[in-house]
Homo-oligomer: A and B are copies of this chain.
Amino acid sequence: MIQKFFKLQIETNGLRLYEISDKIINWIKLSKFKNGILNISIQHTSASLIAQENADLDVQTDLINYFDKLVPMNSDLYIHTAEGKDDMPAHIKSALTNNQISLSIKENKLLLGTWQGIYLFEHRINQQNRIVVLHYLGD
Contacts and interface: CB of A to CB of B under 8 A. Distances in A.
Interface of A: 1, 3, 5, 35-37, 39, 41-46, 50-53, 56, 58-59, 61-63, 65-67, 69-71, 77-80, 82, 88, 91-92, 94-104, 106, 111-116, 131, 133, 135, 137-139
A37 B135 contact: yes
Number of copies: 3
A114 B130 CA distance: 12
26 contacts: A37-B39, A37-B102, A37-B135, A37-B137, A39-B103, A41-B104, A42-B113, A43-B111, A45-B51, A45-B52, A45-B115, A50-B95, A52-B94, A56-B80, A61-B79, A62-B80, A62-B92, A65-B77, A69-B77, A95-B96, A96-B96, A96-B97, A99-B101, A100-B103, A104-B135, A106-B135
B139 A3 contact: yes
Given A63-B95, A79-B58, A79-B62, A3 B101 contact: no
Contact of A63 (B92, B99, B113, B137): B92
